[in-house]
Structure 1
Amino acid sequence: MLLELNDKVISSTGLTDDELRIELAVRLYEDGKITVGQGGTMTGLGSIRFQQELGKRKIAWHYDIEDFEADLETLRKLSSDRSK
């Protein structure tokens, strides 16, 4: 889906297209509506640079016990694959 905004609306914000895209993605992430990966894609920054943008704004990562357990399982699998 393509989201279109009127040029007058964009210019009224005082932001460039890229800045507005970042602002929107940051807000959606903050509200728990999108993931870091989605934010990186939406902004064109990629996940790492989007995370850095969140850090500059002092926005905490959404990382819960399920995320931690999934990361541990991935590490176990990677470790197991290397030992073969």
Structure 2
Amino acid sequence: MPVVISDETLQQAGMTEREAVVEIACRLFDIGRLNLWPAAKMAGMSRVEFEQELTGRKIPIHRPTPEDFADDVATLERLRNRSL
């Protein structure tokens, strides 16, 4: 289903159609509604281009979960115990 944003609205926002699509894709990624690759495709960019766009907007690309943190702590403990 196409979404229509009027030229008047784009003009008021000071954006081109392309800028609006990239803005929406970045926002959907930032709030967790789209993963990286689908958001990049929506923006019409490669994964690398989209990552650069996110970086420029100071939107984190990698979002560690509490489980990731727990795994890292467990790995550090294992390594620490091996070196003792």
Please report the TM-score for the alignment, with normalisation by the length of structure 1: 0.68
Distance in structure 2 (CA, Å) of the matches to 1:2 and 1:48:
26
Give the counterpart letter for 1:51 in structure 2: E
Once the 2 structures are TM-superposed, how far is the Cα of residue 51 of structure 1 from its aligned partner?
0.8
CA RMSD of aligned residues (A): 1.7
The answer to whether structure 1 residue 55 and structure 2 residue 55 are counterparts is yes
Once the 2 structures are TM-superposed, how far is the Cα of residue 34 of structure 1 from its aligned partner?
0.6
Structure 1 vs Structure 2: percent identity of aligned residues? 30
Which protein is bigger by CA-based radius of gyration?
2
Please report the TM-score for the alignment, with normalisation by the length of structure 2: 0.68
Distance in structure 2 (CA, Å) of the matches to 1:7 and 1:30:
26
Once the 2 structures are TM-superposed, how far is the Cα of residue 18 of structure 1 from its aligned partner?
0.9
Once the 2 structures are TM-superposed, how far is the Cα of residue 62 of structure 1 from its aligned partner?
4.2
Q: Which runs of 5+ in 1 are unaligned?
A: 69-84
Q: Identify if the C-alpha distance between structure 1 residues 33 and 62 changes in structure 2 by more than 3 Å, giving closer, same or farther.
A: farther
Once the 2 structures are TM-superposed, how far is the Cα of residue 22 of structure 1 from its aligned partner?
1.0
Give the counterpart letter for 1:50 in structure 2: F
Matches within 5 A, 1:26-65: 26-64=26-64
Distance in structure 1 (CA, Å) of the matches to 2:52 and 2:33:
19
